[in-house]
Structure 1
Amino acid sequence: MALFFYKGNENILNSKNQQTEEQPNKKIQDSFLKILDNKNLSFLLGSGCSSYEIELPKKRDQAVKKFQVGIPIMIPMAKEFYGSKEFEEKKKWLKEELKIDVENDPFATNLEIFLSTLHNLSFYYVNILSEEDRNVAVEIIKNNTTTFSNRSKFQKIETLIIDARNFLLNKCLNEENINLENDLELINLYKEFYRKLLTRNSTLPRINIFTTNYDLYSERAMDSLGIHYVNGFTGGINKFFNPAIFNYALAEKMDLSQSKWSVIDNFFYLYKIHGSVNWIEDPRQNKLFKVREIQEAKFDVLKQEENIMIHPSPLKYNASLGSPYSDLFREFQKKLMQNNNILVTLGYSFSDEHINNLIFQAFTIPSFRLIVIGEPKNKNAIEKLQNLNDPRIWIIGGKDDREYPIHYFRRFVKEMLPDLTADDLDNKMEATLNNLRELLK
């Protein structure tokens, strides 16, 4: 599979003037130079961006083995969860009692759909059971006082929700790899992504970063680089969700004698439209929006929380229609409907119909452009987009003689995103700061 750059159905890399292997990459990068100069620019980061494999040391006469140091995409994550020994009894009960076969689609490849289905069932029982029965269920699950087989149907559903939630939470926190610094290549990749985006013309509006990921790699990367970002939370020690913050910008005063202000350069808007591992529902606080951001994002701390805001799930009402999800999706739609807006999707498979519908609605704006970094194949959603033959849809990807396809996040950042930083200024600044720290010891 060669590299491709489709505008509609036309692959603009199929030029007869190609003479070297570098030209396709150069042509793609030149196009992204123009994209970065677009007035309204948004990125949508999917699960593929936080998935990162490294090769383990090869032993004699053995095939190369790869080790996941980032966050697995949903298919292998679901396979691991369903395939565990602890899940065997529960898998049998699901199939026999609830007619849910996790070995078949849509559950087999998507743990989020499985979790949402369980939440819907729980929502039903919460409304027909007495408060006493609900409280008993909570105590049994919390204290693990009975075996799974001896629990009621509602108690079993709640047990499965906790199991799936904690599995997702543990995977997305990725504490083991972070503590061992196995994920340094991945965090450096995120840092390079945000650093390159900072080279965009400072007079243009700030870039919007939308993501379906629950993990904290974007936040860790920007914190490390000293980049300011708005993620929907305000406050000091206790940060609570407030969507009004997305209307604000961080600015510096340019003229002390007059009210002249300029938005600072190192600033992004970050929208986590499926929630985050460090967001919890905190009904005890006297706040209009009861979603709080936890600063200490540790599994032992978060697993004790009743409601972690990862993926829309029915609680007292259909949470996919409530805050914070409704506010975040509304912001997504608002940005897409701006004139001359470009949306670049990375590591996103177009498997979320809610997001897809908003993207498709944006095509009613003639100036909207969609740039998909991915591969059209096997009648997937990306191939269907290509078949529309709309020149406003660009699809970039493919495989050359390198190990990974060019549409993987690691190659997009290193080869497609132009680097306008002269003389590797960022690395020199980091080296200088490290040397200064040594001098101050």
Structure 2
Amino acid sequence: MKHFFYKGSQDTLLKESDFEKIKENIKKDLSKILDTRNLSFLIGSGCSLGKNGIPTMKQLADNLFEPKADLNENLKDKVFEAKHIEILEKFKINYKNEPFRSNLETFLGTLYSYRFYLEKLQEAEEMAFDTDLKDLNLIIERTKDYILYECLNEKNKGNDGNIVDVYQQFYRKLSLRDSNLQKPNVFTTNYDLFSERAMDNLGISYTNGFSGFVERFFNPSIFNYALAEQMDISSLKWSVIDSFIYLFKIHGSVNWVEKESNNKLFSIQELQDVNYAKLKTEANYMIYPSPLKQNASLGSPYADLFREFQKRITQKQSTLVTMGFSFGDEHINNIIYQALTIPSFRLVIFSDIGNHVDGKYEASRKNIEKLKDLNDPRIWIIGTDAEYDGLLQEGKIIEKDHKELHFFDTIANDLFPDFTQDDIDEANKKLIELIRTKGKGND
């Protein structure tokens, strides 16, 4: 099997192999479901990958833990050296094993937890852990520096247009859906700025939870606002603008810093026009959703963002579309599972379900498999078989026009309906019908 489109546990593409027909069938189904009143998307790290994009979490870990000899010159002072490895071995943190090997967020969260544990021991027992805390901070800062540099994608600056183009195609189509429906919500676990750059390039208005102009600070109440235009000056009539999107970066962003302000309730600031050198001068940059609350301000943005995620996907007649997300984050999964208890909720998952590793087919999306096994027709899973994809990469299968259904560029360019085209087609039908009617009248 090459491509699949599960509705529940039934594959609707079982006997179809022509990509053009597959594309049109999926697009037709998506057109209906994307007209849901409350529409949300969850964009995972898989959507920022590709040529000149950001490496996978596994590639990030590989380069950080065991840097290659021909490593990019700018990365040499950001990856682990012998002294960092010695510290990890001292704390018995086996960075070569799972879950650290494939997920730097888990690795970093463990370091934060260990540091919190030592700080509390030092407070309670008045024992000195200064050296250990210093060593842990060294590892934490080196890991943050490395992720920051990679997520800013500075090594490809000016050369990552292909990734931005895909994001632009996605947001362009999304911004043009029926203006009478609720404005769409985009949730992302990514730290990068591809979404912001794409919408800025297109002139699409959006809110991301920050308010202000000269200095932008986090303000969760902004998510309750909408941008409106005045339709009639004399009668004060207003209408929400068509192209408006709510953006939620639920795992933080490369341009977020912690900065105290006497006149602000929240101390998280969004910086504009950022680069690695500029962010490195900040005392506390790129705030992560650590499993332990570091302090009140660190807990605040994530608590508010996840509350919005839960509130918006659990509304009646809601649809959530996940792309590039492997369902590996339990705190996100639990909110989605809660939404599934609502009869009108629909879930669309773009995923390969499994991974092809060392010549073997290994199921790595266990939570997605479980969702498929529920045989719930409200759950759609669309993608290309990972085993087939692995054979393709090995050169054992050659198809000139092969496209993985779950890849972000395929979704944005081929599968996602173009609402403007739908409007044009509808207008043409009405015009033809009008001409026919007038023609009959003349007879």
TM-score by length of 2: 0.82
Taking the aligned partners of 1:240 and 1:325, their CA distance within structure 2 comes to: 14
From 33, 46, 49, the counterpart of 1:48: 46
Taking the aligned partners of 2:249 and 2:162, their CA distance within structure 1 comes to: 23
- 1:255 deviates by 2.1
Equivalent residue for 1:120?
Answer: 113
Q: Which shows bigger deviation, 375-384 or 363-372?
A: 375-384
Taking the aligned partners of 1:423 and 1:345, their CA distance within structure 2 comes to: 23
Is the 2:255–2:272 contact (alpha carbons within 8 Å) kept by the matching residues of 1? Answer: yes
- 1:45 deviates by 0.2
Q: Name the CA shift for 1:107/1:19 in 2 (closer, same or farther; >3 Å).
A: closer
Tell me the SS of whatever aligns to 1:364: coil
After TM superposition, the structure 1 = structure 2 runs for residues 239-318 of structure 1, keeping only pairs within 5 Å, are 239-313=216-290, 314=292, 316-317=294-295
Is the 2:324–2:350 contact (alpha carbons within 8 Å) kept by the matching residues of 1? Answer: yes
Equivalent residue for 2:62?
Answer: 79
Q: Which shows bigger deviation, 77-86 or 226-235?
A: 77-86
Equivalent residue for 1:414?
Answer: 413
User: Given the alignment of the two structures, is residue 104 of structure 1 paired with residue 89 of structure 2, yes or no?
Assistant: no
Equivalent residue for 2:132?
Answer: 153
Is the 2:168–2:202 contact (alpha carbons within 8 Å) kept by the matching residues of 1? Answer: yes
Taking the aligned partners of 2:84 and 2:259, their CA distance within structure 1 comes to: 32
Equivalent residue for 1:331?
Answer: 308
Offset from partner CA, 1:252-271 (integer Å, 9 cap, x none): 11222223211101110000
5+ long unaligned stretches in structure 1: 54-68, 138-151, 426-441
User: Given the alignment of the two structures, is residue 405 of structure 1 paired with residue 408 of structure 2, yes or no?
Assistant: no
Residues paired across the two proteins, number: 387
TM-score by length of 1: 0.83
- 1:20 deviates by 4.6
Taking the aligned partners of 1:229 and 1:187, their CA distance within structure 2 comes to: 17
- 1:216 deviates by 0.4
From 221, 226, 233, the counterpart of 2:203: 226
Q: Name the CA shift for 1:117/1:366 in 2 (closer, same or farther; >3 Å).
A: same
Q: Name the CA shift for 1:19/1:392 in 2 (closer, same or farther; >3 Å).
A: closer
Q: Name the CA shift for 1:218/1:359 in 2 (closer, same or farther; >3 Å).
A: same
Equivalent residue for 1:384?
Answer: 370
User: What root-mean-square deviation, in Å, do the aligned CA atoms of Structure 1 and Structure 2 show?
Assistant: 2.4
Taking the aligned partners of 2:297 and 2:217, their CA distance within structure 1 comes to: 17
Offset from partner CA, 1:135-194 (integer Å, 9 cap, x none): x97xxxxxxxxxxxxxx221110000000001000001112212xx22111111111110
Q: Which shows bigger deviation, 276-285 or 342-351?
A: 276-285
Taking the aligned partners of 1:423 and 1:342, their CA distance within structure 2 comes to: 20
- 1:81 deviates by 0.5
- 1:95 deviates by 4.9
Amino acid at match of 1:27: N
Q: After TM superposition, which residue ranges in structure 1, 4 or more long, deviate above 6 angstroms?
A: none
Taking the aligned partners of 2:276 and 2:8, their CA distance within structure 1 comes to: 45
Taking the aligned partners of 1:385 and 1:91, their CA distance within structure 2 comes to: 40
User: Given the alignment of the two structures, is residue 188 of structure 1 paired with residue 165 of structure 2, yes or no?
Assistant: yes
Is the 2:227–2:241 contact (alpha carbons within 8 Å) kept by the matching residues of 1? Answer: yes
- 1:294 deviates by 0.6
Taking the aligned partners of 1:35 and 1:78, their CA distance within structure 2 comes to: 37
Is the 1:25–1:416 contact (alpha carbons within 8 Å) kept by the matching residues of 2? Answer: yes
Amino acid at match of 1:411: T
- 1:88 deviates by 4.7
Q: Name the CA shift for 1:209/1:100 in 2 (closer, same or farther; >3 Å).
A: same
Equivalent residue for 1:356?
Answer: 333
Q: Name the CA shift for 1:286/1:29 in 2 (closer, same or farther; >3 Å).
A: same
Q: Name the CA shift for 1:209/1:154 in 2 (closer, same or farther; >3 Å).
A: same
Offset from partner CA, 1:309-349 (integer Å, 9 cap, x none): 442134643777x2100000000000111001000000001
Is the 1:13–1:24 contact (alpha carbons within 8 Å) kept by the matching residues of 2? Answer: yes
Q: Name the CA shift for 1:244/1:211 in 2 (closer, same or farther; >3 Å).
A: same
Q: Which shows bigger deviation, 258-267 or 409-418?
A: 258-267
Equivalent residue for 2:322?
Answer: 345
5+ long unaligned stretches in structure 2: 69-78, 355-362, 389-398, 425-443
Is the 2:84–2:139 contact (alpha carbons within 8 Å) kept by the matching residues of 1? Answer: no
Taking the aligned partners of 1:46 and 1:102, their CA distance within structure 2 comes to: 23
Q: Name the CA shift for 1:256/1:306 in 2 (closer, same or farther; >3 Å).
A: same
Counting aligned pairs with the same residue, the percent is: 49
